[in-house]
Chains A and B, each alone.
Chain A
Amino acid sequence: MTYFEFLNEHGITLLLGTVTTVKVLICSMILYVVISMIFGLMRLSKNPVIQGTATVYIEFFRGTSLLVQLFWAYYVLPFFGISLEAFTAGVVALGLNFGAYGAEIVRAGILAVPKGQWEAAHSLNFTPAKRIKRIIIPQIFPIILPPAANLTVELLKATALVALVTVVDLTFEAKQINSITWLSAQCFGTALLIYYIMARFALVPFLRWLEVLAARKVGKEKI
Chain B
Amino acid sequence: MEMGWRWDFTYEILPQMAIATLNTIIAAGVGYMIALIVGLFFLLAQRTPSKIFNWVNREIVEFIRSTPLLIQLFFVYFVLPQFGITLSAWVCGMITIGLHFGTYMSEVYRGALEGVSKTQWEACRALNFSTIYTYRRIVLPQAFPIAIPGMGNYLVGIFKDTPLLSTIGVAELFHAATAVGGYNYRYLEPYTLVGIIFLTLSIPAAMWVRKLERDVNISQGKIKK
Contact = CB atoms under 8 A, between A and B. Distances in A.
Given A76-B187, A79-B3, A200-B62, A63 B199 contact: yes
Given A64-B195, A164-B167, A195-B67, A178 B160 contact: no
A185 B68 contact: no
Interface stretch (B9-17, B69-77, B119-127): B69-77
B114 interface: no
A167 interface: no
A192 B75 contact: yes
B86 to A, nearest CB: 13
Interface residues of B, number: 38
B34 to A, nearest CB: 20
Interface string B147-171: 0000000000000111110110000
Given A68-B194, A195-B71, A178 B78 contact: yes
Contacts of B72: 192
A162 B187 CA distance: 18
A67 B67 contact: no
Interface string B68-101: 1111101100110010000000000000000000
Given A65-B198, A71-B191, A200-B62, A188 B160 contact: no
B198 A68 contact: yes
A158 B71 CA distance: 11
B198 A76 contact: no
B191 A76 contact: yes
Contact of B67 (A71, A72, A76, A157): A157
A96 to B, nearest CB: 13
Contacts of A67: 163-164, 166, 174
A157 B69 contact: yes
Contact of B195 (A68, A157, A192, A200): A68
Contact of A184 (B67, B75, B191): B75
B200 to A, nearest CB: 9
Give the dominant DSSP class at A's interface. Answer: helix
Nearest to A191: B71
Contacts of A156: 66
B63 interface: yes
A189 interface: yes
A216 B123 CA distance: 40
A114 to B, nearest CB: 22
Given A67-B174, A195-B71, A76 B161 contact: no
B218 interface: no
5 contacts: A158-B68, A159-B68, A161-B70, A195-B67, A200-B62
Interface of B: 3-4, 62-63, 65-72, 74-75, 78-79, 82, 160-164, 166-167, 174, 178, 181, 187-188, 191-192, 194-195, 198-199, 202-203, 206
Which 10 pairs, one residue from A and one from B, show the smallest C-beta to C-beta distance? A184-B78, A160-B68, A199-B66, A67-B163, A188-B75, A157-B68, A75-B187, A65-B160, A64-B198, A63-B199
Interface of A: 59-60, 62-69, 71-72, 75-76, 79, 153, 156-161, 163-164, 171, 174-175, 178, 184-185, 188-189, 191-192, 195-196, 199-200, 204
Given A68-B163, A71-B191, A185-B79, 10 more contacts: A63-B198, A63-B202, A68-B195, A79-B187, A157-B67, A161-B68, A178-B74, A191-B71, A192-B71, A192-B72
